Structure 1
Amino acid sequence: MSSIVTFVRGYLMELKGLKSNLSQPASRANVRWSPPTTPEVKVNFDAAFSAQERKSWSGIVVRDSEGEILGSACCVNENVDSPFTAEVMAALQGLRFARDMGLPEVVVEGDSRSIIQKLVSQTADLSSVRSIISDARQLASNFRHCRFTFVGRTGNEAAHAMAIEGRTGLVDCFWVEDGPPSVLAVAASDRRFGEPP
């Protein structure tokens, strides 16, 4: 009985987070990807989700302070029950990718405000994604420095393009200093936008 109560409380907290996100107007036009400060690298993540297939695709793009791609990945996930689960799995897979690349200082950035809030919170998570949140927090503690930041969708377009790209494949794919053409095009646009006038 107590596990059901815990689940319901967590679910209600997720719904409350969604409601607050929807009630906060955001200026989307001016939100762009911004490079990290050396020696940090930025790990952007996003997820595409299919309720019908119970699948998600994680898109991950890692860039340096010059906006250059250090690595990119798309991961296919089975038996995914919600967009929340898809997003937090993408965050966890982004952390794993950064760890496997041997990157000591990372900024992990995504466009799901509720997931970022859960990752930075110091309180116990009671939601349906609590075990994945716990895994992500534990993995983050293994970096020399790791912080989580929220960015609007227009500042996360490369990771979004990577997640959409992942839907075309059946297996996980990884690139080093490269990525699919759609992702490279977004990254190039982000670099041009970030250049001084």
Structure 2
Amino acid sequence: MLLEKIASYAKNYIRNLKNLEFRQPRSQNSVNKKWKPPLLNSYKTNFDGAMFNESDEVGIGVVIRNCKGELMAALLEKIQKPQSVVALEMLAARRAALFACECGFQQSSFEGDSELVIKALRYGEMQHSSVGHILKDTMSYASCFQSCSFFHMGRQGNSIAHALAQRARLSFPIVVWMESVPLDIMSFVMSDISSIE
């Protein structure tokens, strides 16, 4: 019985990793399709959430990089499934702001692939009252930064955060890396770095 569970777990893990490599962006209309580095002496924090249909849990992925595209910190977190995808994306934004603050990166731009959430973060208001408190928390964390901005990024330009969020499915509740990520995520990092003009 235990060996069957281990074999099943391994098969699912490998299948999920293969799926990460071939996933297409959510929005083909997004203006920013490729990741671009932040300005000199600042950081870029990408975030994403992933729903797991087979579970009552979801994943959050966050990655912080410098102007050379180098990894400064990364996080994945598995949490209870919220009431909506919008709530999940807002929770991912809040976790990204908190993580960047905890790591001491005082100048950061934040990118996510939910246009609705980015608009709410830019303008400080949300039409979905069920996530207003999460928006308020996120804005509170954002006020701690010397400089902070929010941008919409298509899935293709947010691939590392997305891969981390998907990886949470098979992980401990929270995992943090400083200046590194697992090898299966590193291919996304190298792809972004090679595309820097």
TM-score, normalisation: structure 1: 0.81
Aligned counterpart, 2:15: none
Name the amino acid aligned to 2:153: V
How many matched pairs?
A: 172
**One-letter code aligned to 1:87:** E
SS in 1 for 2:130: coil
| 1:26 match | 29
SS at match of 1:75: strand
Q: Does structure 1 retain, via aligned residues, the 8 Å contact 2:28–2:154? A: no
Percent identity, please: 30
SS in 1 for 2:36: coil
Q: Deviations over 1:4-29 (max 9, x none)?
A: xxxxxxxxxxxxxxxxxx9x96168x
Q: TM-score, normalised by structure 2?
A: 0.81
Match of 1:135 among 126, 134, 137: 137
CA deviation string 1:145-172 (max 9, x = no partner): 1111101111111111111111111320
Q: Could you tell me which of 166, 174, 177 is aligned with 2:176?
A: 174
RMSD of aligned residue pairs (Cα, Å): 2.0
Find the aligned partners of 2:124 and 2:52 in 1 and give their Cα distance: 31
1:182 Cα deviation from its structure 2 partner: 2.2
Query: How does 1:58-97 map onto structure 2 within 5 Å?
Result: 58-97=60-99
Alignment of structure 1 residues 101-116 onto 2, 5 Å? 101-116=103-118
Indicate which of 22, 46, 49 corresponds to 2:48.
46
Answering whether residue 123 of structure 2 is matched by residue 121 of structure 1, we say yes
Distance (whole Å) between structure 2 residues aligned to residue 173 and residue 71 of structure 1? 11
Q: Deviation at 1:49?
A: 1.1
Residues 60 and 77 in structure 2, CA contact (< 8 A), matched pair in contact too: yes
Give the C-alpha shift of residue 40 in structure 1. Answer: 1.4
Residues 125 and 133 in structure 1, CA contact (< 8 A), matched pair in contact too: no
